[in-house]
Amino acid sequence: MKQGTMLYEPHKPFRRVYFPETGVASIVSVLDDNTEIEVATVGYEGMVGLPLFLGANKTSAKAFWQVEGKAFALDAKSLREETRRSSALAVTLHLYIQAFFAQIAQSAACNRVHNVKQRCARWLLMTHDRVEGDQFGLTQEFLARMLGIRRTGVTEVAGDLQRGGLIAYSRGQIRIVNREGLERISCECHRVVMDEYQRLLG
């Protein structure tokens, strides 16, 4: 899955769902002026296309691949058949929905009360949790879209984190240098969300 690959679009029927193995997908809300704000991310812990499992065949949001990786894909018909046949899959997806809702709720609170540096650190930690190794591809423009801020704001924050020895950034690649330092800068939201995933899904 290459960065930017579209997984589903607003108001268009779901054709399949995705179970990430590596990398990260982004769920985005699109406003009338085409402003895009990330509302959640999905990695190896989850599935992209939850509205289909809940009985809807389309949604107002869109999803695309954010950090390059691999995923399993399952067509819409097969998902319906498997969740009817397999109570274990249905139960697991219901637990995942609870964790996913917790992530969305925490992100809403985070975007309201925490500063850009804290939010950026949280986003980098959540991405680091889901990729192989310490390095992943990410442009400043892309990160600005995910955080809902101007690119100049990302440049300033990324520069601060790099000067602090927490990350290394070059030519669209970010490497996590000091994860513990990022955890100290981040707000509590990363920990709260990860604790909820651990509690519900192990």
Residue 60, domain CATH: 2.60.120.10
What is the predicted pLDDT for the residue at 54? Answer: 94
For the four alpha carbons of 108, 111, 117 and 118, in that order, the dihedral sign comes to: negative
What is the tally of structural domains in the chain? 2
pLDDT of res. 99: 95
Q: Of all helices (H) and strands (E), which one includes residue 7?
A: strand 6-8
Domain span at residue 154 reads 115-186
Cβ neighbors of 36 (< 8 A, separation 6 or more) are 28, 29, 30, 62, 145
Q: Does residue 141 form part of some domain?
A: yes
Tell me: the pLDDT tens digits for 2-39?
Answer: 989 999 999 999 999 999 999 999 999 888 888 888 88
Chain segment 47-68, per-residue pLDDT in tens: 999 999 999 999 999 999 999 9
Do 124 and 104 share a structural domain?
no
DSSP-derived secondary structure letter, 35: -
For the entire predicted model, the pTM comes to: 0.88
